[in-house]
Structure 1
Amino acid sequence: MRLLTRRPLDLGPFFETLADRGTTTAVRLSRPLDVAPEGGEEWTVPQLAELVAELSAVLAAAGVGPGDRVAVHKRNHWDYALLAAAAARIGAVAALLSDHLEPDALAALLARLAPAVLLSDRYTLALGGTPGGVRTICLDGPAPGAIDAATLRGGAVPPVHRRSDDEPLVINHTSGTTGLPKLVVHTTASLVRKITAFEAHRWPLVSVRPEDTVACASAFAHGRSVSWTISTLWARPRTVLLLADSEPARAAELLGADPPSLVELLPTSYVRWQPLTAGPQNPFRDTRLFVSTFDAVHPPTVRAYLDASARRLPVWLQGWGQTETGPLTFRFLTRRALARREERHPTTRDLGRPVPGRTALRVVDPETGLPVRRGSAGVVLTRTRGLCAGYLGEQDRWAAKLQGRWFHTGDLGIRTRSGRLLLLDREVDRIPGLSCVELEDVLHDRLPEVEEAVLLDAGPQRPPLPVLVTRDGVLDPGRWAHAVRDLPALAEPLLLGRDALPVTGTGKVRRYELRERYLSGTAASGTGRWT
């Protein structure tokens, strides 16, 4: 009998620990795992434990050992988390790379990582080919220039390698909205003991319960994937539903068959699935808790999901944090909080308060670095227990983000007298005299046909350029004029199709790319000093 821990503190044997606990959670997938396509769409925890052990044997057969880096670059799916566990099981460090990375960015990050192997799949390799100079294993069959993982299967399962809590555990990259992503190194101490163990604690209202059906559609290469997997499965819910993409039809099918009580989606998935909330088979009728991470969701979308629930008091939990820090603030939204009133305009840019006992916030003058008074704008710094170990290969860049024990988030905000944080903009995207994200909230609320609104700094003496994506690709000029009647001056909007909008793996808009495309040569107000 393996030693059972009180808290989920070791990623490598985590699934084996769950199996030893007798966890009966049923895991259902929107499509089969790329690492085990023959396994179908339904898994038990003991089966997952066996799969992770087998994957660790594949890595060992490939010559991967303790301390080696294992790059993972494949189609988005939950098996990113399983591969991270398999690597951790033998003492290796998984570097999870999004399938949304541009080829040049992927090549740069692989050069920085110098991995022992790269794990991929036939779909991804067919799109971009095998990266030069990197030993590649194809997880789901033969592919040109890659080793078929099937030829490495069948070996003895290696024993669990125990590592120090301060050794690297997982490497994730930042979103890359402002250029080449940074490689963020998390340890067991930062990611599991500090960030995940706090979430795995039994908290009123927000914790997963044994009777819950939990649905998740995420960017599984992100660090959230590992912490979500540990904290959710540790709570032993009845069912877990995992969606690998944002296709509304598949979501309606999977969620409709087993309506979830707790939902966590990418912001882009919330937007794409919003029509389902008004459909006859509304799959969110039993949801008590909606969770939003990565980026805030605009008020009309939050409203639609809360109204879709038949629960008396459904709650929307909005969290704000970064890859380097984990969650920093949280805010609960209810139907009443987002009700329209003539005297004010609801916004989701009020990010709430710091996580009690875990994080602290400070707003400082960007020029002097000195704290500003409550109610004044500045750059937001945080002090948190979950801070990562640094940036791989960029220690100077990491050092520039630190001010003693405080970490520069690169966001502009205002700390209210009551301690709440009002987000203004990323410093690199700022436009003097206004908050882009607040105005974007207003545009979404006044123009329901808009799926995405982005304001770009057009330079001195020029109004900001609104870039809009609408559901049907058109926008009535009269409705636009009425929507902006009392707002600061804006240029005529630029309409784009959804596929023309450059986004990261987590659905964030690459604003710098839009500026390069449509406003090339104009001077930006933001410095990008803390990106």
Structure 2
Amino acid sequence: MRPHDMGTLFEEVADRRTHTTVHLDRPFDIAPTGVVTSARGPVVDYTVPQLAKLVREAAGWLYAAGARRGDRVAVVKRNHYDYDLLACAAVRIGAVPALLSGHLSDDVLEILLKRLDPAVLVTDRVLPADLARRVLSLGPPIPGAVTLDDVRGSRVPVPRRRHDDDPLIVNHTSGTTGVPKLVVHTTRTIVHRLARFEAVRWPVIGVRRDDVVANASSYAHGRTFCWTASVFCLAPRKIVLLSSPESLSVLERYRPTTLEALPSAYVRWQPSAARPDNPFRDVRLFVSTYDAMHPPAMRAMLGASRRKRPLWMQGWGQTETGPLTFRFLTRRALDRAPDARDLGRPVPGRTKLRVVDPVTFEPVARGQSGLVLARTAARCAGYVGEQDRWQAKKNGPWWNTGDLAVLTRGGSVRLLDREVDAVPGLSCLEVEDLVEDRLPEVVECVVLGTPGRRPIPVLVTEGPVDPEVWRRAVADLPTMADPHVLAWDDVPRTATGKVRRLDLLTRLVGSAETCGSGRWT
């Protein structure tokens, strides 16, 4: 089966009599007491027909709240997979879901909601009622808002199809450098060009019918909407969905065979991976997207698997483009201390990359650094409220990623830094890799640059770092300032766990000025 209409996806999969069961770490926020019969209390296990029923009912709720064809439906709530169910419900009635992470601050949410001007806002936050024509509250009472109890049992409208090039969904970028951008994708860009490619039972990396597929992600982001369109069509035996990386007990219960998670989740799981009874011992395939991974976390996870040859698949891309490159790593490859900045080769037949001079935009020779431009049919259709910004990043059929990298003679991409974060004379990402490899007590290293100062290393640890040990570890690296040692929770992060580097820089030195121009962030 290949995905076609996201509004009726679960119904179409259910009609194929799939035996897939879905297991959650906690009940959905849109069904906190369950909508299907269970003797165990709140429902945390679903069949695909039950998910299809929940999507149909949610479509009725949104319609009763005032959403109509072509309207935007904004969702802001705690992280959970029902983001994607609400998105499918909005698509079913012809509306355009706009998924905003509950991790965003109130002031950023206000900016984004004003750009969206949604007909309906579904939220568990107390937000100003004038940010949408109607608010559907999942949480505390909001003056003028309706609740799920007010709309539950509403008539379910018939599905409304849309043209493949009409807006399908809006997701925001990570927001590491400020207010996130609101990315518009169509059925053609995110379903036809991306999800259908993944909905193939590829050898080794494809989903098998006997797989237990687990995902621990930020469900407001476009990656899981695309993942939904592919994985349910492949009908694995079980799907396990984590709303929080802390919910390891559900992984211990169902023991996944394939696992996709945020890079930050893999980092946090390293201590658990060292246990003999770790929940990753049956995993044959680890998948990471969103951000580059550092070697220690990959080494720990592959070492946790009891499979003979577990595989790591790393994808690199952007919300605007989907995956651009992929790379596979084994235990043996990681033991050889591979270049962690090597993000692999462009997806064959689907993406093309070129590296250009940041000033002239003329292509540079293989092996020289420059700005990465990408060419893909999956490129987004625009930015809500910032179409001029989208136009500035579009160069004919090419898309300016804003990343600095080298295209090697072998055809792979070696990522250096985001252009806005770049420091003359070094790669911050490379230094971070080396520090994390040399100092096991460092959970994460972040190198920041600002004009007129030496690069500033930030070490995320659970305890102090011996100054002499630090000096020995960086003796052969470019000169840096003395490190700042912080706990994980003291570092400002996005919903996907990425470090908000400009916010962190401002906290440390009082300014967000970087050495890069930031023109293509």
Report TM bin, short chain.
Answer: over 0.9
Q: Deviations over 1:420-476 (max 9, x none)?
A: 00000000000011100011000110111111211011323x320001110x23111
Describe how 1:275-286 pairs up with structure 2 within 5 A: 275-286=271-282
Paired AA for residue 85 in structure 1 = C
Contact 1:459 1:522 in 2 (8 A): no
1:432 maps to which of 415, 424, 427: 424
1:290 maps to which of 265, 286, 290: 286
Describe how 1:358-507 pairs up with structure 2 within 5 A: 358-460=350-452, 462-470=453-461, 472-507=462-497
Tell me the SS of whatever aligns to 1:303. Answer: helix
Instruction: Using the aligned pairs only, state the percent identity.
Output: 58
Contact 2:423 2:515 in 1 (8 A): yes
1:37 maps to which of 32, 50, 65: 32
Structure 1 residues 133 and 229: alpha-carbon distance in aligned structure 2, compared to 1, 3 A threshold: closer
Tell me the SS of whatever aligns to 2:333. Answer: coil
Contact 2:173 2:180 in 1 (8 A): yes
Which whole-Å CA distance do the structure 1 matches of 2:414 and 2:3 have between them? 34
Contact 2:114 2:131 in 1 (8 A): no
Describe how 1:44-443 pairs up with structure 2 within 5 A: 44-121=47-124, 124-125=125-126, 129-134=127-132, 135-139=134-138, 142-247=141-246, 250-251=247-248, 253-340=249-336, 345-443=337-435
Contact 1:457 1:465 in 2 (8 A): yes
Structure 1 residues 522 and 285: alpha-carbon distance in aligned structure 2, compared to 1, 3 A threshold: closer
Which whole-Å CA distance do the structure 2 matches of 1:131 and 1:485 have between them? 56
Structure 1 residues 112 and 169: alpha-carbon distance in aligned structure 2, compared to 1, 3 A threshold: same
Paired AA for residue 12 in structure 1 = G
Measured on the aligned residues, the alpha-carbon RMSD in Å equals 1.3
Contact 2:18 2:48 in 1 (8 A): yes
- Displaced runs of 4 or more, over 6 A: none
Tell me the SS of whatever aligns to 2:272. Answer: helix
Paired AA for residue 374 in structure 2 = T
Which whole-Å CA distance do the structure 1 matches of 2:65 and 2:450 have between them? 51
Tell me the SS of whatever aligns to 2:440. Answer: coil
Tell me the SS of whatever aligns to 1:336. Answer: helix
Paired AA for residue 515 in structure 2 = S
* Displacement after TM superposition at 1:353 (Å): 0.1
Unaligned runs of 5+ in 2: 35-42
How many matched pairs?
512
Q: Deviations over 1:467-512 (max 9, x none)?
A: 1110x23111122111111111111000112111011011111111
* Displacement after TM superposition at 1:139 (Å): 2.9
Paired AA for residue 349 in structure 1 = R
Structure 1 residues 181 and 131: alpha-carbon distance in aligned structure 2, compared to 1, 3 A threshold: farther
> Which residue does the alignment assign to 2:40?
none
Which whole-Å CA distance do the structure 1 matches of 2:375 and 2:315 have between them? 16
Structure 1 residues 521 and 81: alpha-carbon distance in aligned structure 2, compared to 1, 3 A threshold: closer
Contact 2:260 2:286 in 1 (8 A): yes
* Displacement after TM superposition at 1:202 (Å): 2.0
Which whole-Å CA distance do the structure 2 matches of 1:522 and 1:492 have between them? 19
Which whole-Å CA distance do the structure 2 matches of 1:523 and 1:476 have between them? 30
Which whole-Å CA distance do the structure 1 matches of 2:202 and 2:128 have between them? 45
Contact 2:129 2:144 in 1 (8 A): no
* Displacement after TM superposition at 1:238 (Å): 0.4
Tell me the SS of whatever aligns to 2:332. Answer: coil
Structure 1 residues 430 and 140: alpha-carbon distance in aligned structure 2, compared to 1, 3 A threshold: same
Which whole-Å CA distance do the structure 2 matches of 1:418 and 1:81 have between them? 39
Paired AA for residue 255 in structure 2 = P
Paired AA for residue 33 in structure 2 = E
Which whole-Å CA distance do the structure 1 matches of 2:201 and 2:370 have between them? 35
Q: TM-score, normalised by structure 1?
A: 0.94
Contact 1:90 1:159 in 2 (8 A): yes
Tell me the SS of whatever aligns to 1:137. Answer: strand
Contact 1:52 1:83 in 2 (8 A): yes
1:518 aligns with 2:508: yes
* Displacement after TM superposition at 1:142 (Å): 4.5
Contact 2:3 2:233 in 1 (8 A): yes
Q: TM-score, normalised by structure 2?
A: 0.96
> Which residue does the alignment assign to 1:7?
2
Which whole-Å CA distance do the structure 1 matches of 2:278 and 2:142 have between them? 41
Paired AA for residue 117 in structure 1 = V
Unaligned runs of 5+ in 1: 1-5
